[in-house]
Amino acid sequence: MERFLDALLLSAGYNSALVAIGAALLGFAAGACGTFMFLRKRALVSDALAHATLPGIGLAFIVMVAFGGDGRNLVGLLLGSAITAGLGVLVVDWIVSRTRLAEDAAIGAVLSVFFGLGVVLLTVIQTMSAGRQAGLESFLLGSTAGMLFQDAVFIAVGGALAVAFTWALRRPMTLVSFDADYAAASGYNVRFVDIAIMGLVLAITVIGLKLVGLILIVALLIIPPVTARFWTERATAMIWIAGAAGSVSGYIGTAISASAPALPTGPIIVLVCAALMLVSLLFAPRRGVLAAALQFYRFQRRVHLRQGLLALARQEPIHDRMTLSVLRKAGLIRRDGVPTEAGRAQAAKALLDEQRWAMVRRLHADTTRAGSYDGVTPIEKVLTRDEIAEIDRRLGPPQEVTA
């Protein structure tokens, strides 16, 4: 616990502070850039893309060694990974547009085949004399703890650029995500915007590859936007919320993993990210499960209250247990089911409201007015006082409720 707090306060040593900041930056960039991938309903393209980086890493290593280089040059490896990942995305696009195969099949085929090819290349490298201790496997699961200062700077600069691009292109990307046809009609080049979205995701994947590995970077691209979706209806707000969710996951995740041995950083970050998502799914104010349940309960109560009042007014017996309990709790009936003074008053009002509505629905049968009747909303919320007076004139004098 102490070590966790130390790590959280960046006082657990230079290296863990560096890793925490780096992971937080990466989380922010991944969340922000993944947002439009999610809104475009292509979240899993990032999965294909991440897996397609592996052969690029292998090929880059082989090429660099063949030209007498070190083979472990990070820039070269990342360049290679970007090339094959880009190729993978193009292949997905080609399969979807040129064959009858659906997008999910294209994504699955590309991710598994490119990954298989990557595995083949890794075994080739293992047999090369220069490749005995290449450590390229660390790209599979990442090696967060081994982050160097220059890696952190690389993430910071690259991530900031990617976020800046996301922000700059947010309008066209939002438009294309929600209504591609409309975007095309208003003069946007949909294909170009799609390529920009993919390009951003590609950049994040390459940047994050060394940190959390190709399998887990997918999580950082997908989960924060899903988390953010629960909290807002606005695309621009989603960028920031997703970024915040990603960076909190990165930061807390590294702190947790620094607090005990054998807690690999990448998976912990992903699990923290998933936990945030779960909390949002359950407790988000409008779209959360709890909020929805509460809303349903309130609506149910209103319906039962209204129907109960109408039954009272019409002197019909009430048998439904929930109706009885709702009425009793509102102090409208006594324990033995006899309406109280307040109950009679409200019943009369409900009956009048119902009669007014019936009149409205007859008068405005062909307009939206009639459609706004849901059996719960009081008529005062829909019509003006003058309109109600007119309805009342047509209804005639009030009749006494004989309860």
- Cα dihedral sign, 366-367-368-371: negative
| Dist CA 111 CA 45 (whole Å) | 9
Q: What is the DSSP string of 87-151?
A: HHHHHHHHHHHHSS--HHHHHHHHHHHHHHHHHHHHHHHHHSGGGTT--TTHHHH--GGG--HHH
Q: Which of 262, 336, 393, 397 binds other proteins (CB under 8 A)?
A: 262
Binding mask 51-90 for other proteins (x = CB under 8 A): ----------------------------------------
Asked whether the beta carbons of 220 and 38 are under 8 A apart, the reply is no
Least CB distance to other proteins at residue 64 (A): 19
Asked whether the beta carbons of 59 and 84 are under 8 A apart, the reply is yes
- Contact between 230 and other proteins by CB under 8 A: the answer reads yes
β-partners of residue 333 are 339
| Dist CA 221 CA 50 (whole Å) | 10
Question: Between residues 141 and 370, which has the closer beta carbon with respect to other proteins?
Answer: 141
Q: Which of 11, 13, 63, 116 binds other proteins (CB under 8 A)?
A: 116
Least CB distance to other proteins at residue 245 (A): 12
Least CB distance to other proteins at residue 225 (A): 8
- Contact between 277 and other proteins by CB under 8 A: the answer reads yes
Inter-CA distances, 183 with 35, 172, 176, 234, Å: 18, 8, 6, 17
- Contact between 281 and other proteins by CB under 8 A: the answer reads yes
Q: Which of 26, 82, 140, 238 binds other proteins (CB under 8 A)?
A: 140
β-partners of residue 104 are none
Q: Which of 118, 243, 246, 250 binds other proteins (CB under 8 A)?
A: 118
Q: Which of 83, 141, 156, 184 binds other proteins (CB under 8 A)?
A: 141
Question: Between residues 206 and 273, which has the closer beta carbon with respect to other proteins?
Answer: 273
Inter-CA distances, 66 with 93, 134, 233, 368, Å: 32, 14, 52, 74
Q: Which of 8, 119, 345, 370 binds other proteins (CB under 8 A)?
A: 119
Which residues contact residue 179 at a Cβ distance below 8 angstroms, ignoring those fewer than 6 apart? none
Question: Between residues 18 and 228, which has the closer beta carbon with respect to other proteins?
Answer: 228
- Contact between 115 and other proteins by CB under 8 A: the answer reads yes
Question: Between residues 24 and 43, which has the closer beta carbon with respect to other proteins?
Answer: 43
3-state class of 314 per DSSP? Answer: coil
Which residues contact other proteins by CB under 8 A? 38, 41-44, 46-47, 95, 98-102, 104-105, 107-109, 111-120, 122-124, 127, 137, 140-141, 215-216, 218-219, 222-223, 225-226, 229-230, 262-264, 266-268, 270-271, 273-274, 277, 281, 287, 289
